[in-house]
Structure 1
């Protein structure tokens, strides 16, 4: 039986594990990336394919002022615009159509052939009325590319003709008569012959509208395939994971379900994309979306892994008994996740074509401003990290910090709260706390008893020795005494007493238990003093008056 993750959030255990829910999630995730990329294309369209610069174009001159209306560039641009608008009747006027041929159908088929094999950029053609006069094709002839066929390649050319509307560059007669042959070799010809014309028009990012409609269906199907691949992969890895004693690999495998399913869906979608017969810009666009999705899968897996590692660290014995470490682990996890999210967002936006250079520069400037504005906050944050790593105090410790004496109630991200003996709360910022001297009474392994016995002056040496021996014997007979260092010594003659110093250590860490032990020791000291015949001295002062001293007259009296 596979082991489950006991730290899984309660809400996740109640999610409907149905295919419909997963399919909806797939649509939102995968198709959302596609729409985000499409939006990116509006902001920064992809660069055109590499083409040679137009012959005869003057450098540093505005192109709009040098493109002649009867140039090859202007004619091709007009033909493409008319085809995009679905006005194939007008587009047919840019073809040298043979007699009794259907110019509208030929224009539509030529656009499909050119999009599939050439993907023309009008800016690659000459902007001059006479075209490129140095291409060795003769005056009035312009070649725009070649179409691959079963027997080789065939040229696509424009010729300069005089029409009722004036001089215009048209697709040559030799090119037009080959259109049907080229069109018959298209792999998606059946769809083009049976789909409504509206679905064959290009939409955003040069995806035809029927391809846009097919993408959600493809995303759902890819998610199903990804779920199957994820299940098979996790089943294979589970046999290896169950052989290990560590539970971390079990947790990592449990949280990897979603990212692995998403990665499998991306793989299935990459395999299925060629069936859509995409144009070159659309293919480049969806390739970028898939690469961005791969980044999403990787960073998603890393984020889930951070949660799994954090959960296992909180279950570790060293962390379970350390409140400071239990506070530090979630903090470090959140910092790591925010860092991963920022890096992942920049990587995904870069793949989708967004200008991330300005974003990174803005983040740098914003980071400097934030660091200046939140200097104290950052200082306290790093102070909390320092306290969590060094662990000079923990929640529940009885400590003395500067002049504050009390019990630590909480260690937060910004400050630490201490409950004083007067039951008040003292809040110390962590940045300042990290620089203060911290004395922890809870960290003591033994507690010291230190006191002085002030015996009366009338105590004889024999009685004093009896007191010393009796007090030391009473201490050493105590079951919790530290026997290596018991001090009972006669230390001096006080103004009104004989002073005996007593110092010993009890093996306990509980202050309440130490109070009881101290009380028992003090009772035993009183019994020893009483049995020896001595007693405790009272602070006294003797004033002696000399007899026969003459009285002095007081000033001012007569």
Structure 2
């Protein structure tokens, strides 16, 4: 089982990105703005979708968005306008009512049937007073669509052109009006229509009735309660699975995903109860679009929280990054970049759900990204340089390195630059973009340190003394506890200009340079003892110069001149 304090621990993850917690609220504000700034609220049955209408050859050509008096489009607009206002007496004037029937009741029932069974887009109807000449129907007859009858057969809904005291008018045909009763009787929500006050049956914004606007918040509260309950069950089941694992990242992920899981279940519950509202076709399409957008918000919300958990795991719990200071510095940067990418993708997906062109948004972001990259070229170069250093790890904080012509200790690997303290205690700052291309030599990465030099003996040294010195020096090296015995080189190398040269090369198993300095001092003192015991001495640079010429110009002997360290000695 995981420690009980894990929840408190996880709540502290990635406070640097605290603003991510408000993403759902921001998405809700964006969605509300889209709704408010969208098309004006219409009380017509459907949003405008103009379609060209051709006039008959012998008729005047009318514009496709014109409402010509006496046309099918004008008649249906007037019928739906009266019906939406609850004025079914006026609306009944557009019905060919059989004798003895209640015209107002039939108009109300027909309006209910069309709203639920056949959503009519009046703007695609013919604007020609004589109707659509290309619908292959008799003159003066247009068809709005078909409705499934009681026996499952498709029954047409037609309007006809009739002469009335006010002139020619398009009305619903008598056969269509006679079928209204059967169609209305098959509606599932006719109880609401017959028993609710007329004021609640009026159409409101987005083609939702007033009673549906009142019921919608109640359903949202109910769905949220169901979501909390199902979310708790999901957390409990997943928590049992996570408890069986040895790691803590899964527990952290569950804590972070608690709210997104609740939101996901709440949205699914709301989707399930949506049919209870008996929505009109455009209202149902609108609400389902909003639900899809909120589902995307929930998904990306959970994705952003998962990025926090992954970043915390890589920085604090992954074995490969515990000691990798460069990687630990890069992970927060990579997490922030990933969060920005996820947030931008979420915004594009949500806007595309509301009809905004995703391709244009992506193109705009691409152009903006190019402009930003050009403006911040050096900054981006240094940022990627820091990522390269963090991934490649040529050195770490605290390493002693040689970069080009200077040496020092790495003190800080930042996002823009790296700071190195030299042996003179000065600070050198190098941009990471430039540093990634420089020659870097890390002394800290050594597993052992080499001792290499030439030991010079005077020319008066005999062969026996040389052998004794060679054996003594090699013995001193091999007896040292820190020696790497696989390669110890002590060889008489050459006859130098002023000394007999012995090559000495060995490695000591230490990576601490201070310790190596003490080891080197110790073995050099032992070398001095070996040379003294052999009866020889160390050579120093000397030169013998013979002068030849006129004896009158030369004295009987030339005084020896003490050698200078730089040029050697002159003797004759």
Q: Is the 8 A contact 2:311 2:335 kept in 1?
A: yes
Using the TM superposition, give the Cα deviation of residue 530 of structure 1 relative to its aligned residue in structure 2, in angstroms. 3.6
1:74 and 2:74 correspond: yes
TM-superposed deviation, 1:237: 3.1
SS at match of 2:396: coil
Structure 2 gap segments, 5+ residues each: 16-21, 555-572
User: How many Å separate the matches in 1 of 2:84 and 2:322?
Assistant: 67
Could you tell me how far 1:359 is from its partner in structure 2?
Answer: 1.0
1:42 aligned onto 2:46 = no
CA contact (8 A) 2:24 2:297 kept: no
Q: TM-score, normalised by structure 2?
A: 0.79
Aligned to 2:390: 388
**Is the 1:407–1:420 Cα contact (8 Å) retained in structure 2?**
yes
In the alignment, the residues of structure 1 paired with residue 27 and residue 366 of structure 2 have an alpha-carbon distance, to the nearest angstrom, of 31
- Closer, same or farther in 2 for the Cα pair 1:172/1:29, shift >3 Å? farther
With 438-447 and 153-162 compared, the bigger mean Cα shift is at 153-162
Question: Could you say which residue in structure 2 is the equivalent of 1:223?
Answer: 224
- Give the match for residue 18 of structure 2: none
* C-alpha deviation, 1:287, in angstroms: 1.9
Deviation at 1:444, TM superposition (A): 0.8
Residue by residue over 1:108-155, the C-alpha shift from the partner in whole angstroms, topping out at 9 and shown as x without a partner, is 554333212222111343322233467687555544345556466766
Deviations along 1:458-481, whole A, 9 cap, x unmatched?
A: 444444444333322222221111
Does residue 121 (structure 1) correspond to residue 118 (structure 2)? The answer is: no
C-alpha contact 2:53 2:64 (8 A) present in aligned 1: no
The residue that corresponds to 1:338 in the other structure is 340
Q: CA deviation at 1:370?
A: 3.8
1:348 matched residue in structure 2: 350
- Which structure 2 residues correspond to residues 191-230 of structure 1 after superposition, within 5 A? 191-192=192-193, 199-230=200-231
Q: Structure 2 CA distance, aligned partners of 1:446 and 1:409?
A: 23
1:304 corresponds in structure 2 to 305
Shift of 1:244: 3.7
- The answer on 1:320 being equivalent to 2:322 is yes
Higher RCO, 1 vs 2 (CA within 8 Å, ≥6 residues apart): 1
Q: Distance in 2 between matches of 1:379 and 1:49?
A: 51
Matched, 1:507 2:509: yes
Where 1:485 maps in the other structure, the secondary structure is strand
| Alignment CA distance shift 1:493-1:174 (3 Å) | closer
Q: Secondary structure at the match of 1:10?
A: coil
Mean CA deviation greater in 136-145 or 393-402: 136-145
Distance 1:331 1:11, change over 3 A: closer
Q: What is the CA distance between 1:184 and its match in structure 2?
A: 6.0
Q: What's 2:233 paired with?
A: 232
How many equivalent residue pairs? 539
CA distance in 2, matches of 1:101, 1:116: 23
Q: State how far apart, in whole Å, the 2-side matches of 1:161 and 1:537 are.
A: 132
The equivalent residue for 2:292 is: 291
Partner of 2:275: 274
Of 449-458 and 507-516, the range deviating more from structure 2: 449-458
Corresponding residue number in structure 2 for 1:16: none
Is contact 1:43–1:354 with CA below 8 Å preserved after alignment?
no
Matched, 1:521 2:518: no
Contact 1:31 / 1:219 at 8 angstroms: preserved in 2?
no
Structure 2 CA distance for partners of 1:111 and 1:30, relative to 1, 3 Å? farther
Distance 1:62 1:393 in 2: 79
Question: For residues 305 and 388 of structure 1, what CA distance do their matches in structure 2 show?
Answer: 22
Change (3 A) 1:186 1:529: same
When normalised by structure 1's length, the TM-score is 0.81
Distance 1:498 1:98, change over 3 A: same
Does structure 1 conserve the Cα–Cα contact (< 8 Å) formed by 2:46 and 2:122?
A: no
Kept after mapping to 1: 8 A contact 2:293/2:350: yes
1:428 to 427, 430, 438: 430
Cα distance in 2 for residues equivalent to 1:496 and 1:133: 120
Displacement after TM superposition at 1:159 (Å): 4.3
Distance change >3 Å, CA 69–CA 174, structure 1 → 2 = same
Kindly report the root-mean-square deviation, in angstroms, between the aligned alpha carbons of the 2 structures. 4.1
2:19 corresponds to: none
8 Å CA contact retained: 1:40, 1:352: no
Q: Report SS of the residue matched to 2:10.
A: coil
What are structure 1's unaligned runs of at least 5 residues?
A: 14-24, 553-558
Tell me the residue number matched to 1:20: none
- What is aligned with 2:570? none
* Alpha carbons of structure 1 residues 53 and 440: separation in structure 2 relative to 1, 3 Å: same
> Which whole-Å CA distance do the structure 2 matches of 1:173 and 1:382 have between them?
76
- On the 8 A contact 2:206/2:282 being kept in 1, the answer is yes
Q: Determine the C-alpha separation between the residues in 2 that align with 1:539 and 1:31.
A: 86
The change in CA–CA distance for 1:40 and 1:355 in structure 2 (over 3 A counts) is: farther
Q: Is the 8 A contact 1:56 1:128 kept in 2?
A: yes
Please tell me whether the aligned partners of residues 41 and 205 of structure 2 are also in contact (alpha carbons under 8 angstroms): no
C-alpha contact 2:46 2:121 (8 A) present in aligned 1:
no
CA contact (8 A) 2:10 2:252 kept: no
CA contact (8 A) 2:400 2:407 kept: yes
- Could you give the per-residue CA deviations for residues 259-314 of structure 1, whole angstroms, max 9, x where no partner exists? 32222112101101001111101111222222233333333333333333333333
> Taking structure 1 as reference, are residues 540 and 145 closer, same or farther at Cα in structure 2, changes over 3 Å only?
closer
